[in-house]
Amino acid sequence: MSAVTTRAVRPATDADIPVLARLMSEGNPRHPITTQTWAHQLQELRGHPLGPHVEQWLAEENGPGGRRALGMALILQPPGMYHPDRYYAELFVAPTETRRGVGAALAEAVDLHLRGRGAREVLAGAYEDQPWGVEFLVRRGFSEVIRYFDNVLTLADFGSAAWEGQAPLPAGIRVLSFADLAAEVGMDPAITAYHTAFSEVREDVPRPAPPTPLPLDTFRTRLLDNPLFFPEGILLALTEAGEVVALSELERDDGDPARLNTGLTGTRRAWRRRGLALALKLAGLKVARETGVREVWTGNASTNRPMLALNERLGFRPQPAFIQLRWGGV
């Protein structure tokens, strides 16, 4: 009698985190994720004061050679844009298993679960150089909301000397790293000053829905527990009174020690158009060069023309866009 091969989709458990991280990294090699980081992010979501729902699935094949992972899917309520009826979904199929119905089987499990929870809005996405992913979502009733561009600067191509003196700071403003500020005033006051600026700046970042306020305690925990936390790479512009008026964040990459990723960069409303974003970007690139990294990555929404233009001036080069799509709405 020949051995029977079966396929099934099942809920994933924490024991599956290494497989889930591998499938996500294979599906999105631009932004790989390690087992450690995915475990940390899940723990962070589960401990969030809003209590966001998170669920994951694995598609597997059982045959003569044993059990083999074919793909994974996940949904979560994004705490940064929280609404009890809004969800974010991701689905990845192993590169060797495409066009075998794995994605459809995972989508069916996700759809059944979301309908059971009464979801009214679902966000998902795919890169523009993966048109099959976009078409997969469009066939299921999704439509485009916004595009995000990864922009990459190779430091060997960056002419830092040409920028000397090009971004003078306004009178009374100095630039410190978060590490230096914490050493100067103490960790808690540094976090509080950083959080105040961060909270205002993120309100104006383009996104599909308004941001949910991030409490100070949650901000502190997320900052200090982050395995990619790089305090020397968080650059802050401060007044003489110690108020943070602009910021630019760098964090280490999950799988490439020669790469840094940019988080939030921005200026508080009363201090805009004074060159602070450029000054902080240049300070960050100096840190990157001194750290010995090869590349700096940043991401911007297609509607954020000022930041896209600034990155282009510095020599960042756009990569294929990530197209975010939405089903329903709240």
CATH code for the domain in which residue 73 is found? 3.40.630.30
Query: By C-alpha distance, which of 161, 170, 162, 164 is closest to 275?
Result: 170
pLDDT of residue 304: 87
Centre a 10 Å sphere on the Cβ of residue 86 and count the other Cβ atoms it contains: 21
Rounded CA-CA distance 178/298 in Å is: 19
pLDDT in tens, the chain (330 residues): 456 778 899 999 999 999 999 999 999 999 999 999 999 999 999 999 999 999 999 999 988 778 899 999 999 999 999 999 999 999 999 999 988 899 999 999 999 999 999 999 999 999 999 999 999 999 999 999 999 999 999 999 887 777 877 778 999 999 999 999 999 999 999 999 999 999 999 999 999 999 999 999 999 999 999 999 999 999 999 999 999 999 999 999 988 999 999 999 999 999 999 999 999 999 999 999 999 999 999 999 988 888 888 889 899 999 999 999 999 999
Centre a 10 Å sphere on the Cβ of residue 302 and count the other Cβ atoms it contains: 15
**Would residue 159 count as lying in a domain?**
yes
pLDDT of residue 3: 62
CA 41 to chain centre: 11
- Chain position carrying tokens 């079966």: 6
Pair 90, 226 in one domain:
no
Pair 99, 30 in one domain:
yes
Pair 214, 95 in one domain:
no
pLDDT of residue 1: 44
Query: By C-alpha distance, which of 210, 260, 205 is closest to 235?
Result: 260
Pair 163, 301 in one domain:
yes
Pair 222, 309 in one domain:
yes
**Would residue 198 count as lying in a domain?**
yes
**Would residue 330 count as lying in a domain?**
no
The pTM is what?
0.92
Check if the beta carbon of residue 242 is closer than 8 Å to that of residue 193: yes
**Would residue 286 count as lying in a domain?**
yes
**Would residue 315 count as lying in a domain?**
yes
> What is the dihedral sign for C-alpha 211, 34, 265, 196?
positive
Tally the domains of the chain.
Answer: 2
Which range of residues forms the domain containing residue 37? 6-119
**Would residue 83 count as lying in a domain?**
yes
Instruction: Answer with the one of 69, 102, 119 that is the final residue of a domain.
Output: 119
